[in-house]
């Protein structure tokens, strides 16, 4: 089918002729035939990948690649046990991730199917039958169908209007504007004559002919350029940590070979040991722990909050998010207006409310607009200006040309008199009032001041006319008496202010990106406690405060167009409100925030939000958002509620805290072991630990650390964005790796005194290693050190894993497995001296952790707050 804008400029007759239809609508046979070649009226999202593609995508994780490479090297070296364990871990991780994401996609699709979709069309059984209006599934709408629209209807396809009465539609899903847009078949431009798929009717009624369906609609065209998602915060963090470990592992193998060759004259026979050292440095369980933590967090969110995490690593990105960009309409506001009686005139409010009530009764609600709904939803506490017994006899609905509406009422005591109650745009109403220019100018200045404060302003006027026995016309709207101004504002969403305060307390800054007028959006931000500076409404296209003071800015889309990337990056970090934004503007702002080093989330529900959803580190959409928005999002909410975002952020931080704990504990312990092995390789005439012993130790430690996926991080983890930072990670594992190596070397000294022989050394170090690893699982986990006076007790899975690990270290040398592993029991004196070493080790760990916590608190206190 030709695009909708090719038909928009044609006359109604030309449009109908071009589509091969009539005002009476299609016959059922014609509709069925067109459905066969036009296809269903759906905008199909990109198909979700199946099992095989998901498994391949899971292997693209950098660390999974490292493990896979080590497994292959181990297999080439005939270390079949090591290779089998590593490859099994890789397989389990990939299956868990693919399974979790597949379930999330299915849950998101099920949420979308909960929203019913039908439309009213005018069709005939046969050519000679009279047309009947009936409900049909939206999927069965075809080009040439004549649809009927009423308040609350979602426009099912692109429609050229044939007739309308007071029609206004919400196009926020396409343009981001919160105010309803007038539509008429006689509109001045093409957009006024068209209703687009995905918009919804705010007021009035209409009929129109479908010009495009499915992929041919403007809605589909807007969602067409879906770019491949770039590397997110999780990808950057994992890449950084992975390459840090890759460099260490790549250095470990040749160093082990070189040291053994230079000092002990050993050759390639030490290669299995060198590979075992590299494997020992590797946190083999990382993919499994990461996936288990994400699956657990996603499952809890879905069960408790109705939040569907479609891309499991998005949980990390939620936890790391330090700035959330959101649209305004329906998120911070309810998408409805509310009367501000303090800003307007009581007389104007009283007359306007009277007119809206009779408009509801006189037109069955079909002529109501957003202003009428605001007056009816919250009736003003003012007396009615007419005595009881009056009735409505006529209505002149709003039209784009007149920009006002009129209700004609009777006066009970004066049956020959009719009262006209007129409300509408200030200029249009004042132009019809019988007042002098000074009074008109005074009202105009007041209206400008209120509009500059972000309010929507209408004028209200009345007139008395004699009853002439004929319908009233716009010509009667003359010589009016002004009753004052009616001021309205966007109604903020319940709980939005508290949710914003909670996000701010959690270190997440909220920025508003909207297609709405800057004054209207600034008023909403002000009502919700977002500081925009003292002159936020006066000059929305420029800086509104001294940047040196760190105050907020308001930027418009036009201003964004004048900025290069570097300038936008600087301003976007300080700005709170971006108004009159197109979809491209929103995506560019999100890009600028990411270039500034921020982890940016985006909450949006419309097709106009697609570029920004794709540009963000994590995209979030509500369940009742557009299909394309839900398909593009990483996280789907049960409702568009900022408090649900806060819950999801907390879940992400818990999952990331558990992953960070595993990494810190595993790599610092493994690094200490590598240092100890290198030292022991120089000092001892035999290998300090056999490959089978290294593998057994790693299996025990890795299995125990799987419990970290079920840990409960301390409250301090939830107070600030949680990221996997390679630099901080490197410093941490280096410090505590040296601590672990010191404990190992002290143990070597104890073994030199109380034991002799290769098997005794292996047994002693094996026992000490597992016990120290059990200790750091408790002492280095998140929340183990006092932070803000808080300390968390390890949950039951962690306590059991720690106890089992320590018990294996103590009992294995006495078990039947000791002989195959070439271990033997040690004398009691060893265990007594080992207790002294472990006590000193634990004391050193506690002091270092406490000192580190104090330094981090001091740094956070001294760091200037981001504006």
Active site amino acids: 327
Helix H or strand E segment including 798: helix 796-811
Sign of CA dihedral 172, 177, 178, 180: negative
How far does Cα 26 stand from its chain's mean position? 43
Tokens of 781: 């986990």
Q: H or E stretch including 23?
A: none
Burial letters for 634-661: b for 16+ Cβ neighbours within 10 Å, e otherwise?
A: bbbbbebbbbbbbbbbbbbbbbbbbbbb
Residue whose structure tokens are 């099920």: 110
| Residues 755 and 826 sit within 8 Å (Cβ to Cβ) | yes
Map 301-336 to HEC letters: HHHHHCCEECCCCHHHHHHHCCEEEECCCCCCEEEE
Three-state SS at 591:
helix
Helix (H, G, I), strand (E, B) or coil at 516: coil
The three-class DSSP label of residue 860 is: helix
Q: What are phi and psi of 598, to 5 degrees?
A: -85, 155
How crowded is the C-beta side of 238, counted as CA atoms within 13 Å? 22
CA separation for the pair 297, 316 (Å, rounded): 10
Tokens of 104: 């999330």
Tokens of 166: 């007071």
Computed on alpha carbons and rounded to an integer, the radius of gyration of the chain in Å comes to: 35
Ramachandran region, residue 789 (left: φ > 0; alpha: ψ -120 to 50; beta: rest): left
Give the integer Cα–Cα distance in Å for 845 and 771. 14
Beta strands in 493-592 (DSSP E): 509-513, 553-556, 575-579
d(CA 519, CA 451): 7
Phi-psi group of 730: left, alpha or beta (phi > 0 → left; psi -120 to 50 → alpha; rest → beta): alpha
| 244 closest CA partner among 733, 742, 782, 852 | 733
Bridge partners of 205, per DSSP, are 165
Count of helix runs (H) and strand runs (E) in the chain: 30, 21
Residue 582 tokens, joined: 């197109």
Crossing angle for the helix pair 758-779 and 691-705, to the nearest 10 degrees: 20
How many other CB atoms sit within 10 Å of the CB of residue 558? 12
Q: Which residues contact 33 (CB under 8 A, 6 or more apart)?
A: none
Angle 360-365-366 (CA atoms, 0-180°, nearest 5)?
A: 135
Residues 761, 770: Cα–Cα separation, whole Å: 14
How many residues belong to the chain? 867
Burial of 116 (0-12, 13-18, 19+ CB in 10 A): exposed
Which residues lie across from 135 on neighbouring strands? Answer: 120
DSSP state string for 165-213: EEEEEE-HHHH---S-EE--TT-SSHHHHEE-TT-EEEEEEEEEEEEE-
Q: Hey, how many other C-beta atoms are within 10 angstroms of the C-beta on 38?
A: 20
On the CB side of 159, CA atoms within 13 Å amount to 32
C-alpha neighbours within 13 Å on the C-beta side of residue 773: 32
CA distance 518 to 845: 55
How far is it, in rounded angstroms, from Cα 554 to Cα 572? Answer: 10
Angstrom distance (rounded) from CA 57 to CA 631: 18
Judge contact between 153 and 365, C-beta under 8 A.
Answer: no
């Amino acid at each position: 089918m030709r695009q909708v804008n090719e038909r928009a400029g044609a006359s109604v007759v030309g449009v109908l002729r071009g589509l091969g239809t009539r005002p009476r609508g299609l016959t059922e046979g014609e509709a069925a035939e067109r459905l066969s070649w036009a296809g269903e009226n759906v905008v199909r999202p990109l198909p979700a990948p199946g099992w095989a593609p998901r498994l391949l995508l899971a292997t693209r994780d950098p660390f999974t690649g490292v493990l896979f490479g080590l497994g292959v090297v181990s297999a080439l070296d005939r270390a079949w046990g090591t290779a089998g364990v590593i490859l099994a871990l890789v397989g389990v991780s990939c299956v868990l991730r693919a399974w979790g994401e597949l379930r999330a996609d299915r849950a998101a699709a099920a949420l979308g199917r909960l929203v019913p979709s039908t439309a009213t069309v005018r069709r005939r059984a046969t050519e000679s039958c009279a047309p009947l209006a009936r409900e049909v599934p939206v999927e069965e709408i075809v080009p040439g169908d004549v649809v009927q629209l009423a308040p609350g209807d979602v426009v099912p396809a692109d429609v050229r209007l044939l007739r309308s009465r007071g029609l206004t539609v919400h196009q926020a899903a396409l343009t981001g504007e919160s105010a309803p847009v007038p539509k008429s078949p006689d509109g001045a431009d093409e957009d006024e004559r068209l209703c687009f798929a995905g918009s919804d009717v705010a007021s009035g009624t209409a009929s129109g002919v479908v010009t495009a369906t499915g992929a041919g609609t403007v809605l589909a065209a807007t969602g067409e350029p879906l770019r491949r998602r770039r590397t997110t915060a999780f990808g950057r963090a994992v890449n950084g940590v992975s390459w840090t470990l890759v460099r260490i592992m790549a250095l470990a193998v040749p160093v082990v070979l070189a040291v053994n060759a230079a000092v002990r004259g050993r050759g390639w026979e030490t290669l299995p040991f060198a590979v075992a050292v590299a494997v020992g440095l590797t946190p083999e369980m990382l993919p499994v722990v990461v996936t288990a933590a994400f699956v657990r967090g996603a499952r809890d969110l879905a069960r408790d909050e109705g939040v569907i995490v479609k891309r499991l690593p998005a949980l990390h990105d939620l936890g790391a998010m330090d700035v959330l960009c959101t649209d305004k309409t329906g998120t911070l506001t309810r998408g409805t207006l509310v009367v501000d009686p303090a800003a307007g005139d009581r007389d104007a409010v009283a007359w306007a409310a009277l007119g809206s009530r009779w408009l509801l009764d006189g037109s069955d609600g079909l002529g109501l607009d957003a202003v009428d709904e605001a007056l009816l939803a919250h009736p003003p506490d003012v007396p009615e200006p007419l005595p009881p017994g009056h009735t409505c006899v006529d209505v002149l609905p709003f039209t784009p040309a007149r920009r006002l509406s009129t209700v004609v009422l009777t006066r009970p005591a004066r049956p020959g008199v009719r009262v006209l109650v007129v409300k509408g745009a200030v200029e249009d109403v004042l132009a019809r009032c019988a007042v002098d220019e000074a009074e008109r100018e005074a009202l105009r200045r007041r209206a400008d001041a209120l509009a500059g404060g972000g309010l929507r302003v209408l004028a209200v006027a009345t007139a008395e006319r004699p009853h002439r026995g004929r319908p009233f016309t716009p010509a009667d709207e003359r010589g009016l008496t002004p009753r004052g101004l009616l001021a309205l504002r966007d109604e903020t969403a319940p709980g939005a202010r508290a949710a914003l305060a909670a996000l701010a307390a959690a270190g997440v800054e909220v920025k508003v990106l909207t297609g709405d007028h800057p004054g209207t959006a600034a008023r909403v931000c002000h009502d919700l406690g977002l500081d925009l500076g003292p002159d936020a409404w006066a000059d929305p296209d420029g800086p509104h405060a001294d940047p040196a003071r760190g105050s907020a800015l308001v930027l418009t889309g036009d201003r964004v167009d004048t900025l290069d990337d570097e300038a936008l990056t600087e301003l976007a970090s300080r700005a709170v409100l971006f108004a009159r934004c197109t979809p491209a503007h929103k995506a560019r702002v999100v890009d600028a925030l990411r270039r500034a080093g921020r982890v940016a989330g985006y909450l949006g529900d419309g097709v106009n939000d697609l570029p920004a959803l794709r540009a963000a580190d994590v995209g979030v959409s509500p369940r009742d958002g557009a299909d394309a928005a839900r398909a593009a999002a990483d996280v789907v909410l049960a409702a568009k509620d900022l408090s649900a975002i806060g819950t999801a952020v907390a879940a992400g931080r818990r999952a990331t805290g558990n992953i960070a704990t595993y990494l810190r504990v595993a790599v610092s312990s493994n690094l200490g072991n590598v240092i100890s092995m290198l030292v022991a390789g120089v000092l001892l005439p035999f290998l300090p630990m056999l490959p089978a012993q290294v593998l057994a130790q790693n299996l025990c430690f890795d299995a125990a650390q799987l419990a970290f996926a079920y840990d409960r991080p301390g409250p301090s983890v939830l107070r600030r964005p949680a990221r996997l930072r390679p630099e901080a990670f490197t410093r941490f594992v280096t410090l505590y790796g040296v601590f672990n190596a010191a404990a190992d070397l002290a143990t070597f000294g104890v073994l030199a005194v109380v034991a002799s022989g290769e098997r005794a050394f292996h047994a002693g170090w094996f026992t000490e290693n597992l016990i120290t690893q059990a200790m750091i699982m408790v002492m280095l986990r998140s929340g183990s050190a006092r932070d803000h006076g808080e300390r968390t007790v390890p949950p039951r899975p962690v306590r059991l894993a720690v106890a089992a690990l320590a018990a294996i270290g103590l009992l294995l040398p006495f078990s039947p497995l000791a002989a195959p592993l070439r271990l033997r029991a040690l004398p009691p004196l060893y265990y007594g001296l080992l207790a002294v070493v472990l006590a000193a080790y634990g004391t050193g760990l506690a002091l270092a952790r406490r000192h580190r916590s104090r330094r981090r608190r001091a740094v956070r206190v001294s760091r200037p707050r981001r504006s």
